[in-house]
Amino acid sequence: LVLGNAGESLYNLREEYDFSPEQIRRLLQQLLEAVAHLHEHGVCHRDIKPANVVVSEEGVATLVDFGTARVPGIQDLLEDARMYGTPGFQAPELLFGDAYFDDFAQYAKVDVFSLGCVLTELLTGGKPVLDLPTWLQARAGAPGYSPNA
């Protein structure tokens, strides 16, 4: 896959540019269509975040970095699902190790959650989920840590 000059990452663009509600709607529509296409073909991205979205000068959004993508029936490289994704964009079931991904529908939910995080960040400028110390505790499996406490 060669992207050439596909554009700038959404991560960089959101740092230097305020998107209008209409621009956000168009970007989200394109991302939803891309993820729906992936899911229809049995592929789950598992690391959707602004840095993995490239936007062209024409406003075309492209989802990139399929390094952690999952296809049903193919063994994961890492046994621990918490190792996938990026802090601030991971679904809680990944963070707390509550997910046992025996079927594709579980992974599809993870992508949808991440898309919601991207949307929230575009609208508010901040991440909508756990703070980093809490996330690190959960990821490390800290003794005595309970997400329900």
Residues classed as catalytic: 47
**3-state class percentages of the chain: helix first, strand second, coil last, to nearest 5:** 45, 5, 50
Q: Residue 144 CB: number of other CB atoms within 10 A?
A: 6
Q: What is the DSSP letter of 49?
A: S
User: Of 54, 52, 60, which is closest to residue 23 (Cα–Cα)?
Assistant: 60
